[in-house]
Amino acid sequence: MMALSSSRIPVAVVNGTGYGGVEILRLLRRHPMFELVEVTARSEVDRPIEAVFPHIPGDVMAFGEEVTRAELVFVALPDDAAVERVPEYLRAGRRVVDLSAGFRLRDRALYPRWYGYEHPAPALLESAVYGLAEWARDELPDAQLVAVPGCYPTAALLPLLPLLAANMIEPDVIVDAKSGVSGAGRTLRLSSHFSEVNEDVSAYGLGGHRHLPEIRQQLERAADSSVRLTFTPHLVPMTRGILATSYATPRPGVTLDDVRYALELAYCGSPFVWVMEQPPHTKWTLGGNLCYITPAWDAESERLILVSAIDNLVKGAAGQAIQCANLMYGLDEAVGLPREGVYP
């Protein structure tokens, strides 16, 4: 690693062995302004990063247990651990970018229902900035705590928010989304075994997926009204990627050209959103922080179709976390982040 200079910002990654955490480690290596000074993972204490993850060669920093020097902390812990540790980092005067769902919902009453616990720090739910970077640029510079959106919500919200904000679609949407297996995390589960998921596609969360209230919260904020939302996630046999297909009814008189113009206008200054004509592929997003969006029109049903694709571990997690951190420190939001994916 480069020696820390007075102009660089010291950062830590908490739980650097999960998929989100290790992706932050990979991306930080190219960042000119953030200097990794600490990384924690209690299962790998004292082992060098390169020994645990040989795809990050030359990084001999050892995993530790605590954060003591960093000014900015990327927290990649599971929800139950994150909600306990984040307040400690804030009390110590550190700024926090949290990848868990622990601070995404404003209403504390939603946590027992959707996540199974009473929130231990409800006051932080009001002050946490929801870090969908393209929609939080004005809030991020002053943020002490940023709640990075989930991967499904990122893919769903980016195409829908401009249209609801402009009152171009009815507040009744359907989101059909597919995710690669890495979205389930690195912890071993029967549902993510190779022999269980290979050559198989399945829907889950039909009774209500935990990302549903997060998506609805942001849609309603944009629409300034209640929004009826149907959200169905699917697991597909690939490692990375999310493809979300959203369906909405346009307001009377709204055309496909109007929709395309609204999307292009909303994201004309956004380096990581690309509005295009051909339907996107998840493979295009591999390793990059770009979200592809394609609007289309179904003349038979008179419904609008919005297809979006992201890498769930980059734009859906680690890349978005760094994009938010860039904006927190007044940097160009694209600094240190890859736009293009890996092909083939």
CATH code at position 117 = 3.40.50.720
Q: Are residues 230 and 161 in the same domain?
A: yes
**338 inside domain:** no
Tokens of 306: 């919005």
Among residues 151, 268, 291, 324, which one is catalytic? 151
Q: Which pLDDT belongs to residue 228?
A: 98
**1 inside domain:** no
Rg (CA), the chain: 20
Tally of domains within the chain: 2
Q: Are residues 139 and 268 in the same domain?
A: no
Q: Which residue do the tokens 């734009």 mark? A: 315
**337 inside domain:** no
Q: Are residues 172 and 107 in the same domain?
A: no
Amino acid present at 183: G
This prediction's pTM: 0.95
Question: Starting from the edge strand earliest in sequence, which strands make up the sheet with 95-98, in order?
Answer: 34-40, 9-14, 72-75, 95-98, 145-147, 129-130
Cα–Cα distance between 106 and 131 in angstroms, integer?
13
Q: Are residues 294 and 278 in the same domain?
A: yes
Nearest partner of 9 among 47, 49, 50, 38, judged by Cα: 38
Return the C-alpha torsion angle 128, 156, 248, 217, nearest 10.
-20
**320 inside domain:** yes
Beta strand segments in the chain, E: 9-14, 34-40, 72-75, 95-98, 129-130, 145-147, 169-179, 202-203, 228-235, 242-250, 273-275, 291-298, 303-310
Q: Which residue do the tokens 């399945």 mark? A: 202
Q: Are residues 129 and 89 in the same domain?
A: yes
Query: Within 13 A of 100's CA, how many CA atoms are on the CB side?
Result: 22
Beta strand segments in 15-142, E: 34-40, 72-75, 95-98, 129-130
Kindly state the DSSP code that residue 3 receives in the 8-state scheme: P
Angle at 105 between CA 9 and CA 225, to 5 degrees: 120
Cα–Cα distance between 315 and 317 in angstroms, integer?
6
Q: Are residues 289 and 158 in the same domain?
A: yes
Q: Are residues 157 and 305 in the same domain?
A: yes
Cα–Cα distance between 38 and 68 in angstroms, integer?
8
Tokens of 211: 């990302």
Q: Are residues 132 and 186 in the same domain?
A: no
Q: Are residues 143 and 244 in the same domain?
A: no
Q: Are residues 134 and 261 in the same domain?
A: no
**139 inside domain:** yes
Q: How far is CA 104 from CA 13, 160, 162, 211, in A?
A: 19, 18, 20, 10
Cα–Cα distance between 178 and 152 in angstroms, integer?
9
**322 inside domain:** yes
Cα–Cα distance between 158 and 44 in angstroms, integer?
37
Q: Are residues 188 and 111 in the same domain?
A: no
Residue pLDDT tens, the chain, 344 long: 334 445 899 999 999 999 999 999 999 999 999 999 999 998 999 999 999 999 999 989 999 999 999 999 999 999 999 999 999 999 999 999 999 999 999 999 999 999 999 999 999 999 999 999 999 999 999 999 999 999 999 999 999 999 999 999 999 999 999 999 998 888 878 878 888 889 999 999 998 999 999 999 999 999 999 999 999 999 999 999 999 999 999 999 999 999 999 999 999 999 999 999 999 999 999 999 999 999 999 999 999 999 999 999 999 999 999 999 999 999 999 999 999 999 88
- CATH number of residue 291's parent domain: 3.30.360.10
**336 inside domain:** no
Q: Are residues 137 and 169 in the same domain?
A: no
The reply to whether 151 belongs to the active site is yes
Q: Which pLDDT belongs to residue 1?
A: 35
**47 inside domain:** yes
Q: Which residues face 304 on adjacent strands? A: 248, 297
Task: Domain of residue 62: give its range.
Answer: 9-149+316-328
Q: Which pLDDT belongs to residue 187?
A: 80
Q: Which residue do the tokens 């990084």 mark? A: 59
Q: Which pLDDT belongs to residue 222?
A: 98
Question: Starting from the edge strand earliest in sequence, which strands make up the sheet with 228-235, in order?
Answer: 202-203, 228-235, 169-179, 242-250, 303-310, 291-298, 273-275
